[in-house]
Amino acid sequence: MTTLPLRNNEGFLEDADSWTPKVAEEIAAEDSIQLNENHWEIIEFLRGFYKQHEMSPPSNRLFVKAVNEAFGDDKGNSIYLMQLFPGTPAKTACRIAGLPRPTNCL
């Protein structure tokens, strides 16, 4: 187990640049998520989205929409994303991806 970078009280990294794939695996393990290629595809997409827009998708609805535009209906839907990232998919996925908390997620 590696020492995780500084995080806030909700488990989000204080500094997105301190993220590594190993950090992602440890954060995911806290939620009993074993990352596979489907998770990594979404994590890499989110990190690219963040780099391009300098923000996390602001809500679950916009997260689903952005994934749909990038990957199509099979992956860009709430059910698929909820199976990968239980709870609030945008919030869970952003936390694992080392990104700031989506602004409009509960």
Supply the residues annotated as catalytic. 105
39 touches 33 (CB < 8 A): yes
